[in-house]
Chain A
Amino acid sequence: MMRLPRFHYYRPRDIREAALVLAGEENAMVIAGGTDLLPNMKRRQQTPRTLVALRHLDELKRVTNGSGLVIGAGVTLTDLVQDRGIKSAYRGLWQAAAQVATPHLRNMGTLGGNICLDTRCNYYDQNHEWRKAIDFCMKKDGAICWVSTGSKTCLATSSTDTAPALVSLGAEVELETAHGQRTIPLHELYRDDGIHYLTRSNEEILTRIILPDGAGTRSVYWKLRRRGSFDFPVLSVAAAIRFGAGGAVDEARIVLGAVASQPVLCDSASEFLNDRSLTDEVIEEAAALCARAAKPVKNTDFSPHWRKRAVARLAAYALQELRGDDMRATREKIARQAL
């Protein structure tokens, strides 16, 4: 098997100590489930000198109710999927978490880890020898972007499932350092840059995810991938809608995953839906607006052309499900499972 490089391993007593170590050590990274980081380290995509463990910290594993819901970043995806409250009030998040990777990886992987998931590209997610054979790329050890050799920035794809769902739900995240903390809307955590895809500084630890009260809001998540398990998304649509009296849309938020280096907010589609009822025509129009926002590039499974064509279809499925259509048979075909 591929072997991990050498590294120091810290097991801090609490977040504060973790933050201190992180601030004090050169080239340190946090590790929670390790399902993303450890394979990357084996492939020498990341070679931290020091790992600061978060997985054992109880304060990161709490799910607490307030006006909304606060989920600790260390909650595993399996725990999240087994939380009935999340399943009923934040269905889009639940559907997203339930489709991450495989059951085994969800047992280890955390919500915080999935939010911070490294961007992916099939020129980059290869072992060191393979990348050497193509003379590396700008995301690691090289100078060029092989996806688009004229590109000045890295085009690696945001491949997190939970982030589009959380952004559609209006989630905020709390970041903590040794000196204090800040809370920002989740979408501000991201940047459309495959290398510097997070606005989080290396000293900051993502500690909590804060969701607004879910009452009155319906949400869904549709994920497209070749197989019913394992695969990262090649496209995903997260949508959350608060319906007003009379069934018209009060507020809508549609977010696309895996079509840029960050989750993409479809503002024009979301605004178009305001005060409209989800008729077939309205859904078709909104779905077309979503497709316009998607700019997939050739660095995942499936061709960008086909992924772009699939956006409207998947967005329509999402809106139909939010309207209350029975989408179980379609779900079964797309996701290969009931959700």
Chain B
Amino acid sequence: MSKENSYSVIGKPRRRVDGADKVTGQTCFADDIMLPRMLHCKLLRSHVPHALIRSIDTRKAERHPGVKLVLTGRDFPNEYGILPVSQDEQPLCREKVRFVGDPVAAVIARDEFVAEEALELIRVEYEPLDTISDPVEALKQEPARLHDYSEEGNIHKRLSYEFGDVEESLANSAHVFEDIFFFEGNTHLPLEQHAAVGVPEAEGRVTLWSSTQCPHYVHRAVAKALDLPMAHVRVIATPNGGGFGGKTDPFNHEIVVARAALMLGRPIKICLNREEVFYCHRGRHPVLMKFRTGVDVNGALTAMHLQTLLDGGAYGSYGVASAFYTAVLQPVTYHLPRYAFDACRVFTNKPPCGPKRGHGTVQPRFGQEVQLDKIADRLKIDPAELRLNMVEKPGALTANYLKIGSIGLAECINRVTERSGWKDKYRKLPSGRGVGLACSSYLTGAGNSIYWNAMPHSGVQLKLDRSGRVTVFCGATEIGQGSDDVLVATVAEILGIDPLDIRCVTGDTDLTPVDLGSYSSRVTLMMGNAAIQAAERARDLIAQAAAQKFGADAEVIEFAGGRVFNTGRPEQEMPFQEAVVCAEEIYGSLGTTGSYTPAPPPGKYKGGGVGPSPAYSYTAAVVEVEIDTASGWITVPRVYIAHDLGRTMNPVLARGQVEGSVYMGLGEALMEESAFRRLPARLSGALVHREPSMLEYKSPTSTDMPEVITDLIEYPDDNGPFGAKEAGQGPLLPVIPALANAVYDAVGVRIDEVPITAEKILQALDSKARGGSGRVGPAKFPELEWPEPYRVPPPWEGGDGNAVNKPQRKRAAKMHDMDRFRKVTAS
């Protein structure tokens, strides 16, 4: 029997380890925490989009009965932010507010109601500034600047890279396609609203419970923002009621309650309401994209030049990484001989954008896959054939130096086309019905931490004792994706015991080894590898002890079914618990550790750190649509999806991740948009989120969900635990372009922007009926001055991963140098 079929836990459908607690209401979310003497916090948020703060008068609020403390920006010493290069947030705004929803004061009171009453009593005097509502405005030189550290005006960051002479390849290509796409911003919409509780501890230390995906990064930010030693701050991530990237930044409310707890010596709780969650945002960036793509006569890619323009909102957040991600993964799916990209992120007076499921890669994947559909259409090649002919090879090193491991994309394409009856449907269905295909790939964990360091990305500790119980400690965070289950299953597999005999302790910076957090689809791979190492070390100790007992060699000792055997003499066996007792007798108290650090990436050029991953997942999807041509009304009856996840850890959870991605993808494709409303300046000057509510921000309901036919494809990757790759983000990507392509198949119109609504389809149908283009989408990409690109020859053109030039970069301020930053903001 091959090793891959012999797993006893891995790959078996199991009830998730935290399932019973969740369905019976036992799980303790952040809002469930109730402590003696606990007080409640509410934040006063700016109702103006961009203004200097002239004064804040809190005296009446302080005197309001039941109010214990009122804080303003002056109570906080330092800036913070998730990326070292964007330390641009303040727990409460000091000099300036940058969007409607930016917090300026906090009230801590007996209860939420009293705190809300007191907010009304705070008087803030604002001096309004010009307001920037979109990238076109941001690119103008005149308007007020949001941040002094931006590259130029309101341009936060520009990137420019060239991997081979793209212009030459385009000039020599059989065909060159130029297309412009727009992807509207949207948000995560987790059911659980963010909540946090700050608890004072003895000797000036503080504990923060929070619904965060990244306790380690919050730990760093709280310590920095409050000038506390990290050793005096403990962050505990509560199970998240959904994250999707919306809880990966450190947030102002977390720092505020930690500070207030220290000042008052009492626990302080804050629970955001839904509007406030929309203001925390960090959701999908609105991105305008321009693709210039060359193909040969068979439609195979020869070169691509991609330009992206990101509307970043009011703060940096992960934005520099987001900008990279709008470009770096294009070469991972199909072989791309030469590639160049330019990306620009601007600041606007809106809630900050950041990482949402598929971080930055979703928008260009939409553009690329729709453009491929256009190429196939023009060249009269079946879109599935077009793609199958150029699927990247396993083990390849891409033009931009991303090292790929296993690739199951061809099988994914074959599976969805077979299942959907693609050959009988594509271009063959009656008008109004259509099918569309698209593919994608995604990271299994970012190859680099958000701050530079050479330490492990994930650590796992095991404690074993005579009870037979194994406790596994890891800093990873359960956000509903099933990371606790992966952790337990991995240890159970190696030690041959029942998952129920394992307790896991996760996401607690005092108790658990550092794990960077639940983002970038990194947990299964990184935590899994660390857990394997810790569990194998424990297994080796126990095997030694058992071997001694049996009078055998440790090599012949096996673990299975909760027992420990001598494989040479099967009658020699004992329960796992007895074997642990033997080990404890010999070695004393038992504990092991494991850790995982990704290999350094092959790309050594500056910026080459974004994009590398230990493994890439692959997905293909076919979406069916039905469209009423009189109204544009669109219905999705079925979605076929196949996802190469390397190895299935637990098929129940993996399917949940894939189908949940389909659901979220459909929401983005069909209806979700973070739209803003700007009222006429002469009447109001308001710039507000159009619908910060669960009712009017449209996200599909269960009634809108189609039938989903899911296939899990296993192409194990050498870097993955048991070969596993990610499943939580990648499957979202192909759904959106596949739907757009299906619309074209159904009614012959191109909707080159997301969301694809009945209104836009009808508009395109009208245009087609009048003899127009039958297209709805952006008309042009603004003229932008790009910096000199880093020129990195691809591996097959003699490149070694280094840039061959040294472009000069303008720098307004180095953000990791905080003293300099403060001087800049003060000037």
Contact = CB atoms under 8 A, between A and B. Distances in A.
Contacts of B677: 134
A333 B693 CA distance: 25
A336 B703 contact: yes
A47 B45 CA distance: 22
A185 interface: no
Nearest to A144: B683
Contact of B700 (A135, A227, A310, A313): A227
Contacts, number: 89
B275 interface: yes
Contact of B762 (A146, A301, A306, A336): A306
A228 B702 CA distance: 8
A245 interface: no
Contact of B683 (A125, A149, A227, A306): A149
B701 A230 contact: yes
B698 A309 contact: no
Contacts of B692: 126, 130
A127 B693 CA distance: 9
Given A1-B273, A122-B696, A333-B633, A133 B688 contact: yes
B704 A227 contact: yes
A123 to B, nearest CB: 8
B628 A313 contact: yes
A32 B758 CA distance: 37
Interface in A211-226: 226
B63 interface: no
Given A2-B273, A134-B688, A227-B703, A129 B47 contact: yes
Nearest to B44: A129
Interface string B618-637: 00000000101011110100
A334 interface: yes
B268 interface: no
Contact of B684 (A134, A303, A313, A333): A134
Contacts of B683: 135, 144, 149
Interface string B41-56: 0000101110000000
B679 A146 contact: yes
A302 B670 CA distance: 13
A273 B397 CA distance: 71
Contacts of A1: 112, 193, 271, 273
A231 interface: yes
B167 interface: no
B113 interface: yes
B275 A149 contact: no
B696 A125 contact: yes
Contacts of A228: 701, 703-704
A127 B275 contact: yes
Interface string B683-723: 11010111111011010111110000000000000000000
B686 A336 contact: no
B679 to A, nearest CB: 6
A152 interface: no
B742 to A, nearest CB: 15
A135 B684 contact: yes
A13 interface: no
B256 interface: no
Contact of A230 (B631, B635, B695): B695
A229 B684 contact: no
Interface in B527-552: none
Nearest to B677: A134
A313 B758 CA distance: 13
Interface string A160-179: 00000000000000000000
A230 B683 CA distance: 33
Nearest to A2: B273
Contacts of A302: 757-759
A244 B684 CA distance: 57
A313 B631 contact: yes
A3 interface: yes
B192 interface: no
A84 interface: no
A122 to B, nearest CB: 6
What DSSP secondary structure best describes chain B's contact surface?
loop
B47 A227 contact: no
B710 to A, nearest CB: 21
B703 A226 contact: no
A132 interface: yes
A328 to B, nearest CB: 14
Contact of B693 (A126, A133, A337): A126
B275 A129 contact: yes
A229 B630 CA distance: 23
Contacts of B700: 227
Interface string B673-686: 00001011001101
A313 B630 contact: yes
A132 B126 CA distance: 14
A251 B631 CA distance: 29
Given A1-B273, A333-B633, A133 B47 contact: yes
Nearest to A306: B759
B701 A229 contact: yes
A122 B635 CA distance: 26
Contacts of B679: 134, 146
A226 B698 contact: yes
Nearest to A229: B701
B193 to A, nearest CB: 8
Interface string B337-357: 000000000000000000000
A227 B680 CA distance: 31
B635 A333 contact: yes
Contacts of A129: 45, 47, 275
A129 B272 CA distance: 14
Contacts of B696: 122, 125, 301
Interface string A297-339: 0000111011001100100000000000000000001101100
A231 B695 contact: yes
Contacts of A126: 692-693
Contacts of A301: 696, 698
Contacts of A337: 703
B222 interface: no
A130 B275 contact: yes
A229 B703 contact: yes
Nearest to B686: A134
B116 interface: yes
Nearest to A5: B113
B739 to A, nearest CB: 16
Contacts of A227: 671, 698, 700-701, 703-704
B328 to A, nearest CB: 34
A309 B695 CA distance: 24
B155 interface: no
Nearest to A312: B630
A1 B42 CA distance: 10
Given A129-B45, A334-B633, A306 B758 contact: yes
Given A129-B45, A227-B704, A229-B701, A135 B630 contact: no
A333 B112 contact: no
Contacts of B757: 302
Given A126-B693, A228-B701, A135 B686 contact: yes
Given A132-B47, A306-B762, A309-B762, 15 more contacts: A1-B271, A129-B47, A133-B100, A133-B686, A134-B686, A149-B683, A227-B671, A227-B701, A229-B703, A301-B696, A302-B757, A306-B632, A306-B759, A313-B631, A337-B703
Interface of B: 45, 47-49, 100, 112-113, 116, 193, 271, 273, 275, 626, 628, 630-633, 635, 671, 677, 679-680, 683-684, 686, 688-693, 695-696, 698, 700-704, 757-759, 762
23 contacts: A1-B193, A1-B273, A2-B273, A126-B692, A126-B693, A127-B275, A133-B49, A134-B679, A135-B683, A135-B684, A144-B683, A227-B698, A227-B701, A227-B703, A229-B701, A230-B701, A231-B695, A303-B759, A306-B759, A306-B762, A309-B631, A333-B628, A336-B703
List the 7 shortest-distance A-B pairs measured between CB atoms, nearest first. Answer: A228-B703, A133-B47, A336-B703, A134-B686, A229-B701, A306-B759, A333-B635
